Amino acid sequence: MIEIFSNFGTEIVFFHIVSAVVWIGGMIAVKFAVHPAMQMIATPSVRMSRSINITKNLFNIVIPAIFILVLTGIFMIYGFGHKGDPLTHAKEGIWTVMLINFMIMYFRVKKADKFMRDKDDKLVEAKKQMDFVSKYMLPVNIILGLVAIYIGASLHI
């Protein structure tokens, strides 16, 4: 691993940073740009369907970024000699919590999508799933992600 990092360190760090930007930046864009604009759609069922589709599209971009983050993070831990470093452990812990939170969000959005596709049109149930994601889960991951990025930057100074 150290040899690979020695040969491709710049590329590994680049893909790590880009993946973090995609994950955290995507969540920030959805929370603070897309979500407020979606509130202007008057029809609740249309607003909910579009919110679900936007979130699913974000997730389709974020999932590969998460895999790249984990893989490049492992290379960076060994390449920079941070194995056992308390800040590295803190960063790993934060990303782990974020990953678990992301997985719960993923299944909530999937459940909301199923409610919207149901013949009985369960808009209320779909709204409950999506509201929890947007009001609580997304902000938690944004804050944790920014903290993890800060820790990562401090590890390389």
The DSSP secondary structure of 20-64, one letter per residue, reads HIIIIIHHHHIIIIIHHHHTT---HHHHHHHHHHHHHHHHHHHHH
Q: Are 129 and 7 in contact (CB under 8 A)?
A: no
Q: 39-80, pLDDT tens digit by residue? A: 999 999 999 999 999 999 999 999 999 999 999 999 999 998
Among residues 44, 65, 81, the alpha carbon closest in space to that of 145 is found at 65
pLDDT band at 157; cut points 50, 70, 90: low
C-alpha 61/C-alpha 106 separation (Å) is 13
- pLDDT tens digit string along 123-148? 999 999 999 999 999 999 999 999 99
pTM of the model: 0.90
